[in-house]
Amino acid sequence: MLKSTLRLSSSLVVLALFSPAFASDAFDQRIARIENGLLPRVAIQGQSIPALKIADRMATLKVPGVSIAVFNNGAIEWARAYGVAEAGSERKVTTETLFQAASISKPVAAMAALRLVEQGKLSLDQPVNNYLGPWKLPKGAQTKDHPVTLRNLLNHSAGTTVSGFRGYAAGEPVPTLTELLDGKKPANSDAVRVAKKPDSEWNYSGGGISIAQLMMSTASGQPFATLMQDTVLTPLDMKHSTFAQPLPPALHASAASGHDDAGAPLKGKWHSYPEQAAAGLWTTPTDLALFAIELHKASKGKSDKVLSPAMAKTMLTRLKGDYGLGIGVETPEGRPAFNHGGTNVGFQAMLIAFNDNGQGAVVMSNGDNGQVLNSDILRAISAQYGWTDFRVTYKKLAVVSPQVAASYAGTYDVRGTPIVVTQEGERLFIKAAPLGPDRHELLAETASTYFTLTDRAEFAFEKAKHGKFDLVIKAGDTYRGKRKP
């Protein structure tokens, strides 16, 4: 017995000596598999998936830089950065390089709004006009029995207009928040109004979040960026984050430049967003991971740095549109998760978190084509960590005759954008500005429905009354294109 115990003790000592190195090696190997094994959205059943490297995908998609943070069991596990902050420069992206979070600003802002609710400065269910100061939201479709509320605004069920914003390029005049809400010059977006009965349906509205921004500043008596710093960013140690717009000059050297779909830097490097709550956060994946970790812990009753556990659960409660308060909420294969994506001119960002075990990741890139890159990276992370979301979809190919393919070829007008479909034998190709400068092969799933390996959109050809075909595109929303003569 003594000898067995000694042998066991000796083994434990040896294991203790070598486990850290072994764990580190295994850890590095996992990251290397992700870096060298990006996964496409769609693969052909029966065909092997090609090995895609981050550097190669960045070059193909013309995205100069990308930054990643992965968290596991409620703690940041690793963070890496790749590429350059601006095309043509030698300034490397680091894990501390600032990117525009775009619409991931919304859940961070929502956390602050809910903090104000807990402090008694705002109400989730009282009419918003009680908290807006001199500016008031015009009646529109709201009534005394169905007023717009903060809960509606944060859930995108207030019936408000204006989905998103394109920001203001360098040198352009920037409107005040109330000018923006009224659509008055120099605002480049329409007035935010109530077009549908509040709480009747889900309709994504950055305009509604801008109303919430005005509520928050009015109720707190603080400029919005200061409020966010005091309420969320500092308590969560998000030390590389700011809602200041435009970005202060002192932070310019730390920020990535945005790039168009051809990989060229934006004029003036980036756009400014007075719609701070909807799109104005500058941050890093590591800081956004800290936000996600706190929201997870608070919802489990393990932290209350900003929100009480009860309010964190309220934020993550699904209402309309698979959306909670400021954040997407879903249950892929039964696992509770929360998520948000972000698209600003020249920037793309994605956040996914599983609320049962504190796993998740944030990916941010500085190019208009970054959404595809970010998704490829998240699928590779998903494969390595065993997630149930961000999986490759396998599809079978249908055989389509050259005659049928020829009937689909032509130019289609989709909301003023020309979509060109060309034929080469049995193969079809599509070229359209929203898909980038290159053409993409359309792969047949059935005789009339197609997909590409490079974009999430699905394409269908439907026979019209004139005997030719319309092109129906499903990419979140559905768009119908008429065949040009």
Task: For residue 24, name the pLDDT band (cuts at 50, 70, 90).
Answer: low
Q: Which helix (H) or strand (E) holds 480?
A: strand 477-483
> What are the tens digits of pLDDT across the range 373-410?
999 999 999 999 998 888 888 899 999 999 999 999 99
Task: For residue 25, name the pLDDT band (cuts at 50, 70, 90).
Answer: low
Q: Which range in 117-126, 422-431, 432-441 is most confidently predicted, on average pLDDT?
A: 117-126
Task: For residue 13, name the pLDDT band (cuts at 50, 70, 90).
Answer: very low
Task: For residue 23, name the pLDDT band (cuts at 50, 70, 90).
Answer: low
Question: 88-92, 229-233, 261-265, 387-391: lowest mean pLDDT where?
Answer: 387-391
Beta strands in 16-74 (DSSP E): 42-44, 65-72
Residue 15 has pLDDT above 70, yes or no: no
> What are the tens digits of pLDDT across the range 435-477?
777 889 999 999 999 999 877 789 999 988 777 899 999 886 7
For 402-483, CATH gives: 2.40.128
CATH of 99-393, one of 3.40.710.10, 3.40.50.150, 3.30.540.10, 3.90.870.10: 3.40.710.10
Instruction: State percent of the chain over pLDDT 70.
Output: 94
- For the chain, the domains span 1-29, 99-393, 402-483
Q: Which residue has the higher pLDDT, 254 or 52?
A: 254
Do residues 205 and 326 lie in contact, with contact meaning Cβ atoms separated by under 8 Å? no
Mean pLDDT of 413-437: 88
Tokens coding 425: 């034998």
Q: Which range in 111-120, 141-150, 332-341, 397-406 is most confidently predicted, on average pLDDT?
A: 111-120
- Round to whole Å and give the CA distance between 327 and 316: 7
Q: Which residue has the higher pLDDT, 335 or 290?
A: 290
> Of 257, 287, 254, 259, which is closest to residue 362 (Cα–Cα)?
287
> Of 464, 484, 461, 463, which is closest to residue 473 (Cα–Cα)?
461
Q: What is the pLDDT of residue 389?
A: 80
Total Cβ atoms within 10 A of residue 395? 14
Q: Which residue has the tokens 């956040």?
A: 351
Residue 160 has pLDDT above 60, yes or no: yes
Q: What is the DSSP string of 302-317?
A: S--SSS-HHHHHHHTS
In a 3-state reduction of DSSP, which class is residue 100? strand
Q: What is the pLDDT of residue 43?
A: 87
- Round to whole Å and give the CA distance between 129 and 275: 19
In a 3-state reduction of DSSP, which class is residue 181? helix
Intrachain domains 99-393 and 402-483 with the same fold:
no
Q: What is the pLDDT of residue 291?
A: 98
Q: Which residue has the higher pLDDT, 72 or 465?
A: 72
Q: Provide the whole-model pTM.
A: 0.87
Orientation angle between helical segments 206-220 and 105-118, nearest 10 degrees: 40
Residue 136 has pLDDT above 70, yes or no: yes
Residue 5 has pLDDT above 50, yes or no: no
Q: What is the pLDDT of residue 240?
A: 98
Question: Taking the CA atoms of the chain, what radius of gyration do you get in angstroms?
Answer: 24
Count the helix, strand and coil residues of the chain and give each as a percent rounded to the nearest 5: 35, 25, 45
Question: 222-236, 241-255, 351-365, 434-448: lowest mean pLDDT where?
Answer: 434-448
> Of 105, 122, 126, which is closest to residue 113 (Cα–Cα)?
122
